[in-house]
Structure 1
Amino acid sequence: MKERWLPVGLVAGGLFLVNLIARLVVRFGAGDDDAKQITIGLWALCAVGAVMIPVAFWYGRRYPMIRVVGELGAAVVVACVLAVLIGPFVSGVGPFSNGVGLVFRQFFYFVGLSAIGTVIGLLLLMTFGLDYRSQSWKRYVDRVGTKPRKVIRRG
């Protein structure tokens, strides 16, 4: 159980950490300037998507696609819920202080950019033929594609 869910927890923790660092930069670096806050927030979301590219690449090499999608999806949703509900306290405000609409937008932006990063990582993996299924097919071809034994007739 630990071997399966520890990487998922680490991915979720890493994504949440990226969000927390961005919130701290906004709190101490941007001040009250809305333009700076939005710019830093967008860069943080892009960083979340960029983090998912190598994670998806690494995960996709080792496991079948259904497991990759399920576990990385769970990690992204957990990180997103943490970032949306706990992250605002780091910024010094409550999660619903700017309305429920902002909470939903943050959720969809976070999940959307994470999904884009995951898809890019998996497409790169498939392009290079390093995904789990391509490697399985390669092993199958290597095993079956060898010359058959010669049949010796004795008569």
Structure 2
Amino acid sequence: MGKWWRGIGVLAVALFAVNVVARLVIRFGFDGADTTAADRVTLGMFVVIGLILAGVAARWSHRRPVADWGPDIAAAIGVALALTMLVGPLLVGQSPFADSGDVFFAQIGLYLVATGAGVLLGYLLVTALGLDHRSRILKRYAEIKTAKPRRVVRR
């Protein structure tokens, strides 16, 4: 049980760490008036988060069925999203609700789109290559069925 929570926690902390690094780069690397640079760093953050989740989804889908790892990734994304939205701004000296509610909910939407795209990309890539758990089981089943000699039925 502890090993199960450890994987979720490590993934959530990794996703949150990417956000913290992006916030610190924006805070100390650029002045407040340069919004295009901040937008580029934010876009890079979403790409890195998506790639991390694509790799995790590819690795976990290789070993386990989707029903086993799907809720784990969803829990990690939920925890990372809560940390990103509520704790992340506090680390750089801002309030989580400093901007309007529209900006707050837009950030949540963008985060969910980036994470969903990353998970989907990783899973679809592994599935297309036939390396996911289900494809490997079906391949093994087909090999076993074709390896058995045909039984002769007497009448």
TM-score calculated relative to the size of structure 1: 0.91
Q: CA deviation at 1:50?
A: 1.5
How many angstroms does 1:44 deviate by?
Answer: 0.9
**1:6 is matched by which residue type in structure 2?**
R
Q: Does structure 2 retain, via aligned residues, the 8 Å contact 1:77–1:111?
A: no
Question: Does 2:79 correspond to 1:78?
Answer: yes
**How many residues end up aligned between the 2 structures?**
153
Larger CA deviation: 136-145 vs 19-28: 136-145
* Structure 1, unaligned runs of 5 or more: none
Q: Which amino acid aligns with 1:81?
A: A
2:39 matched residue in structure 1: 38
Amino acid at match of 1:92: G
Q: Which amino acid aligns with 1:27?
A: R
* Whole-Å separation in 1 of the counterparts to 2:139 and 2:3: 27
Alignment of 1:117-128 (within 5 A): 117-128=118-129
One-letter amino acid of the structure 1 residue matched with residue 112 of structure 2 = V
Counterpart for residue 133 of structure 2: 132
Deviation of the 1:122 alpha carbon: 0.4
- CA separation in 1, counterparts of 2:46 and 2:138? 36
Aligned ranges 1:19-38 → 2 under 5 Å: 19-32=19-32, 33-38=34-39
Question: Which residues of 2 match residues 4-153 of structure 1 at below 5 A?
Answer: 4-32=4-32, 33-148=34-149
SS where residue 147 of structure 2 aligns? coil
Q: After the TM superposition, which of the residue ranges 134-143 and 21-30 deviates more from structure 2?
A: 134-143
Residue 149 of structure 1, CA deviation: 6.9
Q: Contact 1:76 / 1:114 at 8 angstroms: preserved in 2?
A: yes
Shift of 1:99: 2.1
5+ residue gaps in structure 2?
none
Q: Distance in 1 between matches of 2:51 and 2:125?
A: 13
**What is the alpha-carbon distance in structure 2 between the residues aligned to residue 35 and residue 55 of structure 1?**
30
One-letter amino acid of the counterpart of residue 148, structure 1: P
**RMSD after superposition:** 1.7
Q: How far apart in 1 are the matches of 2:8 and 2:112? A: 15
Q: In structure 2, how many angstroms separate the alpha carbons of the residues matched to 1:6 and 1:62? A: 17
| In structure 2, C-alpha distance between the alignment counterparts of 1:4 and 1:17, rounded to whole Å | 20
Q: TM-score, normalised by structure 2?
A: 0.91
User: Percent identity of the aligned residues?
Assistant: 34
